[in-house]
């Protein structure tokens, strides 16, 4: 079928590719990939010889007319990213938007996604959640974003990188308080996979004790704010108890 296929690829463990993903990657006329070298390694592993085009964040706009014209001529294209599901903090949104506007068929395949994998292993409520992707790099913007989210009652999911994770956790402590429960899911589906959850103050000390604990790829899953309106936070309650104990 002539269509744009959205094809998730493994986030670490090659066995996570689906049968359907492999058959689509074999059958399409070409594959639009974020990094052709990385995708070539995956394709070689599965002996797939389909031709590759590069589609990364910075050239997505420029490449769209060429890909759209192929689709309009009846060719089929698979979109893949470096790892996981395309469009989820990866390129593809503009291309899919253009296809939908032009009534070109888009066929999204289900498959690996770090956010969903982390949420499912976190032990935090999964019935309602917010995916927040990466927090802003700049300290002030990051604090502003966390403040906007501090009342959110749904589970929050963030992507992060090892050289920023300590700052992220410090900022979470300062905005959410020491007691907000946070799960650090690292190297999912890989040999050193670990999922560790604790109140964020303790989690920060835990990662500071051993830098191996933040090596590799990281997702943070944060408990939603479960305080009811007008209810006092544990921090304020602690201070009040302390003050009360000093009263005659």
Residues binding ligand SAM (CB under 6 A): 11-12, 81, 83-85, 88-90, 113-115, 159-161, 185-190, 217-219
CB of 125 vs ligand SAM, minimal distance in Å:
20
CB of 21 vs ligand SAM, minimal distance in Å:
13
Residue nearest to ligand SAM (CB): 84
Kindly give the pairing relationship between strand 4-6 and strand 106-108: parallel
Q: 70-74 long-range contacts, Cβ below 8 Å, gap at least 24? A: 70/29, 70/30, 71/2, 71/3, 71/4, 71/99, 71/104, 72/102, 72/104, 74/2
How far apart (Å, rounded) are the C-alpha atoms in residues 53 and 182?
Answer: 39
Residue 2 vs 89, nearer CB to ligand SAM: 89
Residue 77 vs 220, nearer CB to ligand SAM: 220
Cα separations in angstroms, 130 against 9, 115, 164, 196, 199: 23, 10, 21, 20, 19
Residue 1 vs 191, nearer CB to ligand SAM: 191
CB of 230 vs ligand SAM, minimal distance in Å:
36
CB of 54 vs ligand SAM, minimal distance in Å:
16
């Amino acid at each position: 079928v002539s269509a744009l296929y959205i094809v998730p690829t493994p986030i670490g463990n090659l066995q996570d590719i689906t049968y359907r993903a492999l058959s689509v990657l074999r059958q399409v006329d070409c594959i639009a990939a974020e990094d052709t070298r990385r995708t070539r390694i995956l394709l070689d592993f599965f002996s797939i010889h389909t031709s590759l085009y590069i589609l990364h964040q910075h050239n997505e706009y420029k490449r769209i007319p060429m890909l759209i014209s192929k689709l309009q001529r009846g060719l089929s294209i698979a979109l893949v990213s470096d790892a996981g599901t395309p469009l989820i903090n990866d390129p593809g949104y503009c291309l899919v938007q253009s296809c939908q506007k032009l009534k070109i068929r888009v066929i999204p395949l289900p498959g690996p996604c770090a956010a969903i994998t982390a949420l499912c292993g976190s032990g935090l409520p999964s019935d309602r959640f917010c995916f927040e992707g990466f927090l802003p790099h700049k300290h002030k913007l990051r604090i502003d974003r966390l403040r906007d989210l501090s009342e959110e009652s749904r589970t929050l999911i963030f992507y992060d990188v090892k050289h920023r994770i300590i700052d992220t956790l410090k900022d979470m402590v300062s905005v959410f308080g020491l007691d907000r429960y946070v799960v650090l899911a690292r190297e999912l589906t890989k040999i050193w996979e670990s999922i560790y959850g604790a109140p964020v103050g303790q989690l920060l000390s835990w990662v500071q004790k051993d830098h191996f604990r933040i090596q590799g790829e990281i997702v943070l899953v944060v408990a939603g704010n479960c305080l009811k309106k007008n209810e006092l936070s544990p921090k304020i309650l602690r201070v009040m108890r302390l003050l009360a104990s000093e009263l005659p």
